[in-house]
Every structure is written in C-alpha cells, then in structure tokens.
Amino acid sequence: QVQLVESGGGLVQPGGSLRLSCAASGSILNIYAMGWYRQAPGKQREMVAIITSGGVTNYADSMKGRFTISRDNTKNTVSLQMNSLKPEDTAVYYCNADVNDWTTRRDYWGRGTQVTVSS
C-alpha cells in the first residue's frame, strides 16, 4: 500500500499565498505523474496541476501564472505554490500519484487539505 499525506492548507486572504505539500510513502517501486486536484462544495473534482517524473507540467487554464507545481523525486514529494489566491480557489485540495506499488500500477489519493480564501 501507498499513503499520500497532504499538508499546508488553511485560511488566507484574497491575493495571498499558500504552499501545499504532499509526501508519498509505503510500497513504492516507481512514481509516474503526480498532481493536485480540487473539489469545491457542490462541484466536481477538477485537475489543478500535474507534473511527470521528468518534470513536464500541465496546468488548468485558471491556474496558469498563479500556481506552480514541483516535485522531489528523491523524497517522493510534490508541492503546489499558490499565489494571487481568489475566493473561487476555495476547495479541498487532493494530492494524486500514479504509482507502481510492486504489484500493480494505479492511482493513489490523499485525504485532502482545506484551502479557504476569504477576507
């Protein structure tokens, strides 16, 4: 089994910044893409940003220029730097990893961390 644990959420004012981190641990042979998704109340979960093991990134259009995803392959971690936050960024943010766990290749999810943008 593989565990993903997020940290760094919280309450921030509009225009502020937050940095989310996620650490993967457990039976890991290889981690392919890692990413962040979010789900606001009453809405479907949506992709925020994804990064491959080689460092290629992909962002949702509304996050481009404001969010930056990065990862440390030696530590099995992925981070999301969020700047210029808006009230509409309020959501639960989930870490995701495409993992070969020695038995199969599958997606793993963290439990999520709440981000609230409000004055």
pLDDT in tens, 23-82: 999 999 999 999 999 999 999 999 999 999 999 999 999 999 999 999 999 999 999 999
Taking only the tens place, the pLDDT of each residue in 5-21 is 999 999 999 999 999 99
* pLDDT at residue 19, rounded to an integer: 98
Q: How confident is the model at residue 108 (pLDDT cuts 50, 70, 90)?
A: very high
Average model confidence (pLDDT) for the chain? 96
Element (H, E) at 61: none
Count CB neighbours of 99 within 10 A. Answer: 24
